[in-house]
Amino acid sequence: MNIAEWLASTARLRPEAPALLTGLDLDADYRTFADRAAAIGVALAREYGIKPGDRVALFASNCTQYLECLYGIWWMGAVAIPINAKLHGREAAWICSDAGASLAFVSDDTVEALTAASADLPAAMKTLSVDSDAYRAMREGEGMPAPLAREVDDLAWLFYTSGTTGRPKGVMLSHGNLVAMSMCYLADVDPATPQDASLYAAPISHGAGLYNLPHVRMGGRHVVPESGGFDPDEVLNLARQLDNVVMFGAPTMVRRLIDAAKRRGENGEGIRTIIYGGGPMYLADIREAIAVMGQRFVQIYGQGESPMTITALSREWHMNTDHPRYLERLASVGAAQSVMSVRITGEDGEVLGAGETGEVEAKGTAVMLGYWNNPKANTETLKDGWLRTGDVGRLDEDGFLTLSDRSKDVIISGGTNIYPREVEEALLTHADVREVSAIGLPDPDWGEIVVACVVLEEGATRNDARLDAHCLASIARFKRPKRYVYLDALPKNNYGKVLKTELRQMLRK
C-alpha cells in the first residue's frame, strides 16, 4: 500500500476537518491538503520527470508546506529524503548526491546554503522553494484522484543518520515500515484522535515528522509554530489555546519547557501528551517534569533504523508510583513495542539473560530495509533480521529495557567497564549541576579515566570536592570522575544530542 492513501481516505471521510495550521491560523482543511498533495504529485511527474522510486529531497525549515510536499512525493510513488534544515549546505548537498536526488524542495532560508554547494549536487538536480509563486501554482493544479499503488516493501522515506562518527548513512524505510511505526504509535504510545493538535516544534525532517502519519490517519490537526521551531513560551501559549496538544521533543527540549513552566507558574495546560526520546532522559529530570507538569509523558526509544519503535515507556508506567520498582522502571526506556522483539547479546553474539548487560538488538516489521548503497554497513548492522543498535543495556525479568550508553562511549578504566550514564545520573542530582556529560580519556595507568564535563546552574561556583563527595554518596568509588571540566554549554548536534566525540577531541588538545 501507499502510505499517502491515509491522507486520501481522511480527506474523503473528514473533508472539512482542520488539517494544517501555522500557529492558530488555518492553512488547509483535509480536502485542500489532499488536493494540494495530489497536484504536487502530478507536477512532479509532468514538470520534473519524477518517476515512481525516484528520490526527492526536502531541505526546508518547518512549515505546513513540508507536509504537502511529503504527501505529494508519496502520492506519485516517489521517495522522500528529509534533510535537517540546520545542516550545512555541503552536508545537505552530499546527501542529495549520495541519494541521487532529482529535485530538492527548499525554503527561502535554506536555498542559499544549497546553492553555495552546487558543485557537490547531482548535475541534473533542480530546486524549488516552497515559499515561491511557482510552488503555489504547482499545488493549485489538477491532481490524480488517488495515490499510485505501491507495495509494502517499496521505499518511501530515505533518512540519513546524523553522522556524528563519520558520513551519514541512508536508512531505507518502506511504506510497510511506516505503517508498522504508526500502528505502534496507536497501540503503545498515544491513542491519536481527531481532536488532537500535533505540534511540530522539533524538526519535521526527523522523528516529529514521522509522527504525522497516525494523526493524518485519525484526522487530527497539524500545527507548525509561527517561529518554525521550539520556543518554550510559544509552545505553552499555543497549547492553552489549541488544547489536546501532542508533541515530540528531545530531552533537552523537555528540560527547557519545564524551566519555562516553572518560571511562569504553569503546568502545561492544553498539552495532553509529551513524547520524549532521541537521547538520555535522566531520572532526576523526568521526576521534576512530572512534579511540574503532571502525568503528560510517554517515552520512546528507537533509531533511524527502527524509527521510534524499539521500546516505549507508557503513560501508565509513568503513573504507577505504587509499584515497588517504580523508580527503576521510570529510569528505563520501557518494554518492546507491539511489532518488535528485543534482546541483549554478549561480545560473542550469545543471548544474555535478565539483568545481564550487553548490546541491544531489535527485530520486527519496523526495522529498516537496509542502508542505501552500503552493503558493508548492512552486514555489520543487520544479522538474521536483528538490528544491532550499538547501544548497551539490560532487560529485567519483565522485559523493561534500561540503557547504559552507546557501546563506543563505555569507559574501560583499570579493566572495568564504567557506563557514563551512571556517573551523569549521580551528578545531575546535585543542585549546582544543570547539565553533565561523562567521557573517558586515555590514561597511562588506568587505560582511561572518567572526566565529567559540567555545566553549572547560574550562580553556582566550581567545586570539585563538593561534586566528588556527592558522587561517592551514590556510586562506587571507582566510577567517580577523576577530573572535572566546567563548560558554559555542552556541544550538541542538530537533534540536541550531546557530541561526546567532540568533547573527547576538545579535551585531548
What length does the chain have? 509
| Axis crossing angle, helix 251-264 with helix 232-242, rounded to the nearest 10 | 70
CB 192 within 8 A of CB 185: yes
Which of 300-309, 478-487, 496-505 comes out lowest in average pLDDT? 496-505
pLDDT mean over 115-122: 92
Among residues 55, 370, 19, which one has the least CA distance to residue 196? 19
**Would the pLDDT of 137 be above 60?**
yes
pLDDT, one tens digit per residue, over 319-359 is 999 999 999 999 999 999 999 999 999 989 999 999 999 99
* Per-residue cell: 366: 519496523
Query: What is the predicted pLDDT for the residue at 164?
Result: 45
Query: What is the predicted pLDDT for the residue at 165?
Result: 47
* Per-residue cell: 251: 530531552
pLDDT, one tens digit per residue, over 93-116 is 999 999 999 999 999 999 999 999
Query: End-to-end CA distance of the chain, in Å?
Result: 53
**Would the pLDDT of 406 be above 80?**
no
DSSP one-letter code for 148: P
Which of 67-76, 95-104, 212-221, 436-445 comes out lowest in average pLDDT? 436-445
∠ Cα 132 18 297 (to 5°): 105
- Band (pLDDT 50/70/90 cuts) for residue 166 is low
CATH class of residue range 410-508: alpha beta
- What percent of the chain stands above pLDDT 70? 98
Query: What is the predicted pLDDT for the residue at 412?
Result: 79
Domain boundaries, the chain: 410-508
Query: What is the predicted pLDDT for the residue at 163?
Result: 52
The reported pTM is: 0.85
pLDDT mean over 433-456: 91
pLDDT, mean over the chain: 94
pLDDT mean over 413-437: 88
SS (H, E, C) 59-77: ECCCCHHHHHHHHHHHHCC
SS (H, E, C) 304-372: CCEEEEEEEECHHHHHCCCCCCHHHHHCCCCEECCCEEEEEECCCCCECCCCCCEEEEEEECCCCCEEC
Query: What is the predicted pLDDT for the residue at 413?
Result: 84
Query: What is the predicted pLDDT for the residue at 415?
Result: 66
pLDDT, one tens digit per residue, over 310-327 is 999 999 999 999 999 999
CA distance 476 to 199: 42
**Would the pLDDT of 254 be above 50?**
yes
pLDDT, one tens digit per residue, over 455-496 is 999 999 999 999 999 998 888 788 899 999 999 999 987 667
**Would the pLDDT of 237 be above 90?**
yes
Query: What is the predicted pLDDT for the residue at 493?
Result: 78
